[in-house]
Amino acid sequence: MTVAAVFSLVMTLRYDGEKDARPDGPIYYYLVFFATAVSALAYYSMWEETAVLHVKEDSGVRVIFPERYLDAALTHSMVIIAISYLGKASTASMVGTVGSDLFMVGCLYVGAVLSPEHKFFWWGVGVVFFILLLYLILIELGKATDDGRVTEYDADTLRIVTYTNLLCWAWLPILWLIGQAGTASASLTMEIAIATCFDLLAKLVFCGTLLARLPAEGATNYGASYGTNGRSQLSSAFV
């Protein structure tokens, strides 16, 4: 993740607006850099056990990493802002989606550090906000791609980034439930391994896709019109 942060920073500093058809092109590079930088620092902090919490219960001691929740809150927001800009979503939609994500992550963190009598209530509230998050993102994705609000090229980019990240984010409440924060039915090692794999997959797809496809001559040359079925060949693979 550190390598990705350094690479995205170099790409940001070397950004050439003349090759980018989008007036807001630089924002994607900054979001990619900040997302990778936050993740790199969070992983380093967890490795150093800088802020690890040990929550005592009758069944034992639960190990909680606050950095994981801070990382999710910040980087999820950056992904949402990026796909909102790319999909030409309204400011109201962006605020609602980011707010739902922050409430979801916040509820999961509060539940993780509370006693067993209350933590599952907060987990349930977090799941409700996650469902709302899914609804808002998928509604905006449909407006952007199926209604022709963006080019076919950008529609494919949106689908790749959105579906991959939503799939990986869906494991956050599931891992909370089976991991140390919830029932602790999964070992700490297994929880860390699964969480790291999904987290890295989501962020590498987000960063790699945007850096590879933006700025893009294809954004103007690929074509803004859809076929009779309203979808491109590439996008049909993700639905």
Of residues 13 and 105, the one with the higher pLDDT is: 105
Instruction: Show Cβ contacts of residue 182 under 8 Å, excluding neighbours closer than 6 positions.
Output: 119, 120, 123, 176
- What is residue 32's DSSP assignment? H
Peptide bond into 26 cis (omega under 30): no
pLDDT tens digits along 95-128: 999 999 999 999 999 998 876 778 899 999 999 9
Q: Is residue 219 scored above 50 in pLDDT?
A: no
- What is residue 31's DSSP assignment? H
Buried b (16+ CB within 10 A) or exposed e, 171-196: ebbebbbebbbbebebeeeebbebbe
Residue 63: what pLDDT?
Answer: 86
Per-residue confidence band for 2, with pLDDT thresholds at 50, 70 and 90: low
Q: Is residue 205 scored above 60 in pLDDT?
A: yes
pLDDT, average across residues 146-175: 89
Residue 46: what pLDDT?
Answer: 87
pLDDT, average across residues 131-144: 92
For residues 50 and 42, what is the distance between their CA atoms, to the nearest angstrom?
10
Per-residue confidence band for 10, with pLDDT thresholds at 50, 70 and 90: low
Residue 149: CA count within 13 A, CB half-sphere: 18
What does pLDDT average to over the chain?
Answer: 80
Pairing of strands 60-64, 53-57: antiparallel
Of residues 232 and 136, the one with the higher pLDDT is: 136
Q: Is residue 215 scored above 50 in pLDDT?
A: yes
For residues 215 and 86, what is the distance between their CA atoms, to the nearest angstrom?
12
> Which runs of E-coded beta strand occur in the chain?
53-57, 60-64
DSSP per-residue codes, 3-28: HHHHHHHHHHHT--GGG-S-TTTHHH
Residue 170, amino acid = A
pLDDT, average across residues 187-216: 84
Exposure of 126 by Cβ count < 10 A (0-12 exposed, 13-18 middle, 19+ buried)? buried
Q: Is residue 69 scored above 90 in pLDDT?
A: yes
